[in-house]
Amino acid sequence: MSFKDIFKSSFLENVTSISILDMLLTIVLSFGIGLFIFLIYKKTYRGVMYSSGFGTTLIALTMITSIVILAVTSNVVLSLGMVGALSIVRFRTAIKDPLDIAFLFWAIGAGIILAAGMIPLAIIGSISIGLILLVFVNKKSNTHPYMLVLNCVNHETEVKVKDFLAKSVIRSTVKSKTAVKGAIELNIEVRLKEDDTDFINILSEMPGVNSAVLVSYNGDYMG
């Protein structure tokens, strides 16, 4: 073994396995696609409390995925080790909106496709997905869903309230009912043609109605 062989390192040889141009191009393009995904997420967000941290995560996830895949494609041995390392990772953050899962997979998929060298597919595919989400997620519905929380004193008042709602809204559906001594609480889904909520004022003044609360929601109900 010569003196040169002692300092010969496979680690140093891997430094030049990926060109600087490829690195910069991958980072810039992944940032651009990640930023586009973030803007689409911001435009199509339907929840109550917007989280800017999740939007930033989409940008970081696209860039991280593209960098990792770029390293994996340059070294077969590294790819096997990366699979083993990622298999022990566990993500325990709860995803409340199913649409958020689509954005996470979009960011990961765009990073993988971009690092694999399919740049046109990553760009055209991301633009197509973004336009589809803008059209369908932001599509205005003819009816506006609300949840009516009603507290009344007896069954007779409940019947009167249901008859009144049948004339005031397009559709009303009882989601849950809680009855205790001297009070009945109803959770009713109502659909309004317009954002006219004046009927709730009349409803609250009806004899036997203790309280009436109207809350807007996105149409998803668990119960």
- Residue-number span of the structural domain to which 37 is assigned: 3-137
| Most confident stretch, 13-22, 57-66, 132-141, 206-215 | 57-66
- For the four alpha carbons of 200, 201, 205 and 211, in that order, the dihedral sign comes to positive
Q: Indicate if the pLDDT at residue 36 is higher than 90.
A: yes
Task: Return the pLDDT at 82.
Answer: 61
Structure tokens at 39: 């803007």
CA neighbor of 186 nearest in space, from 210, 166, 168: 210
The kind and range of the H/E element at 183 are: strand 183-192
**Per the structure, how many domains does the chain have?**
2
Task: Return the pLDDT at 87.
Answer: 56
Tokens 């191009």 belong to 25
Q: Indicate if the pLDDT at residue 221 is higher than 50.
A: no
Q: Indicate if the pLDDT at residue 151 is higher than 80.
A: yes
CA neighbor of 180 nearest in space, from 203, 154, 159: 154
Residues 205 and 123 in one domain: no
For 56-115, how does the pLDDT look when each residue is reduced to its tens digit (9 = 90+)?
889 999 998 888 888 777 665 566 556 555 555 565 666 677 788 889 899 989 998 988
- For the four alpha carbons of 22, 23, 25 and 26, in that order, the dihedral sign comes to positive
CA neighbor of 72 nearest in space, from 135, 17, 151, 150: 17
Residues 74 and 127 in one domain: yes
Tokens 């519905």 belong to 141
Structure tokens at 167: 């004339």
Structure tokens at 24: 């910069």
34/196: higher pLDDT: 34
Sorting pLDDT into bands at 50, 70 and 90, what band is 223? very low
pTM, two decimals, is 0.63
Task: Return the pLDDT at 63.
Answer: 92
Task: Return the pLDDT at 34.
Answer: 94
Mean pLDDT score, 24-38: 93
The kind and range of the H/E element at 106 are: helix 98-115
**Does the residue 221 lie in any domain?**
no
Residues 122 and 161 in one domain: no
The kind and range of the H/E element at 163 are: helix 155-168
Give residue 75's identity as a one-letter amino acid code. N
Residues 93 and 166 in one domain: no
Residues 159 and 198 in one domain: yes
**E strands along the chain, which residues?**
144-152, 171-180, 183-192, 209-216
Residues 104 and 180 in one domain: no
The kind and range of the H/E element at 186 are: strand 183-192
Residues 114 and 184 in one domain: no
